[in-house]
Amino acid sequence: MPLHKQVAFFLFFNHYNRDIKLKGVSNTIQCMAQECEVRAPEDFVLSHVPKPTLRERYQQFMFKDHVKSHPQLRFCPGPNCQWIFRAWVREGPRRVECHGCELLTCFSCGAPHHAPTDCATIRRWLTKCADDSETANYISAHTKDCPKCQICIEKNGGCNHMQCGACRHDFCWVCLGDWKAHGSEYYECSRYKEDPNLANDSQHAQAREALKKYLHYYERWENHARSLKLEEQTLANLKSRINQKVMAGEGTWIDWQYLWDSAKLLKRCRYTLQYTYPFAYYMEVGPRKELFEYQQAQLEAEIENLSWKVERAETTDRGDLENQMDIAEKRRTTLLKDFLDINVASSSSKV
């Protein structure tokens, strides 16, 4: 920087001292000479900052600005988390998991990880949910009547396979159909059936059908979100039970690790399944959507089987549970492989 510009900068530096303290200005400090666009380098600024606390604050801001402007670096958005992500540049949603707080994040947009839905679509979906959430929440209640004996039932677990405590009827929480009717090959209630005559209907009928379609997907989206919260408690309970068994001398953590792994896998699979519904909502009708819904249905069926067994993990045969874990994970990875490139190299490190 020329000498006359250094003098101009020095004369106005008290103004920038205030900005560093209050606004976090760092790499935007510019020479105050008229029509000069030269920005002050870090070593020059530090040479004019006498206070150690202010120097440290300035360097912190410089570091944060560097991370924010770097195309391969991101701060973990977790509360009070000091970790930084690094990912190789690639288009589309990029999954990164913080090694500190274990938060799953999309590197591209900073939102919670949302594969297979892309960043633009998930923004549209969340905006729509915010606009229409009161209508959807009214219809999607937390309690439902048993379809056989009509007794009121509250959902207190993540599994959608419900059994009435009064009449022992097994049914699906989502569609209220007989659980046996779902079968093992196709989870029918996850698929929305388009009206083939919709284009010929009145505007009022089309609006009603559009709301019906949205509520179909929203209810399933919200149901899996609630199941994830309920399964967090299952995870905590399993961890507590494993600790009790270890303290009682009934094996080591390694012996019971599979219980913990099953609950973690269930959480990962259900999380992916939740985000398949915005993806399906915006897909065009056609063979590709039919393939996606078929794989979505397969995944949902295996997740419900896994959820049922995880909630009864201590009485479930270990081999049976691990076999179900393998099936569910293969369904999940197959769906993502067919509809999203998930092979993204990434790492995280602490600040």
Whether the per-residue pLDDT at 16 is higher than 60: the answer is no
The gap between the terminal CA atoms of the chain, to the nearest Å, is 32
Q: Could you read off the pLDDT of 95-154 as tens digits, one per residue?
A: 777 877 778 888 878 788 888 888 889 988 988 887 765 555 545 545 677 888 877 777
Query: Average of pLDDT values for 182-210?
Result: 63
User: For residue 332, which amino acid is it?
Assistant: R
| pLDDT the model gives residue 4 | 45
Distance from chain centroid for Cα 51: 43
**3 state SS of 346:** strand
In sequence order, what are the residues at sequence separation of 6 or more whose Cβ sits closer than 8 angstroms to the Cβ of residue 90?
Answer: 341, 344
Which segment of 108-112, 214-218, 246-250, 254-258 scores lowest on mean pLDDT? 108-112
Pairwise CA distance, residues 82 & 84, whole Å: 7
346 contacts 76 by C-beta, under 8 angstroms: no
| pLDDT the model gives residue 188 | 61
| pLDDT the model gives residue 341 | 53
Categorize the per-residue pLDDT at 206 as very low, low, confident or very high, splitting at 50, 70 and 90: low
In sequence order, what are the residues at sequence separation of 6 or more whose Cβ sits closer than 8 angstroms to the Cβ of residue 126?
Answer: none
Most confident of 81-95, 166-180, 203-217, 281-295: 281-295
> Omega before 116 cis (within 30°)?
yes
Whether the per-residue pLDDT at 345 is higher than 50: the answer is no
Query: Average of pLDDT values for 11-34?
Result: 53
Most confident of 13-22, 26-35, 164-173: 164-173
| pLDDT the model gives residue 89 | 54
Query: Average of pLDDT values for 166-174?
Result: 83
User: Considering only CA atoms, which of 262, 269, 270 is closest in space to residue 321?
Assistant: 262
**Does 159 qualify as catalytic in the annotation?**
yes
- Quote the tokens at residue 246: 């270890």
| pLDDT the model gives residue 101 | 78
Query: Average of pLDDT values for 185-212?
Result: 65
160 contacts 166 by C-beta, under 8 angstroms: no
Sign of CA dihedral 153, 154, 159, 160: positive
Whether the per-residue pLDDT at 33 is higher than 80: the answer is no
Whether the per-residue pLDDT at 24 is higher than 50: the answer is no
| pLDDT the model gives residue 5 | 46
Q: Which DSSP string do the residues of 127-170 spell out, in sequence order?
A: HHHHHHHHHHHHHS-SEEE-TTT--EEE--SS-SEEE-TTT--E
Annotated catalytic residue: which of 98, 106, 159, 269?
A: 159
Q: Could you read off the pLDDT of 303-323 as tens digits, one per residue?
A: 989 988 888 887 888 899 999
Whether the per-residue pLDDT at 248 is higher than 70: the answer is yes
Categorize the per-residue pLDDT at 194 as very low, low, confident or very high, splitting at 50, 70 and 90: low
User: Considering only CA atoms, which of 198, 189, 176, 218 is closest in space to residue 293?
Assistant: 189
Pairwise CA distance, residues 53 & 237, whole Å: 46
Query: Average of pLDDT values for 232-247?
Result: 87
105 contacts 77 by C-beta, under 8 angstroms: yes
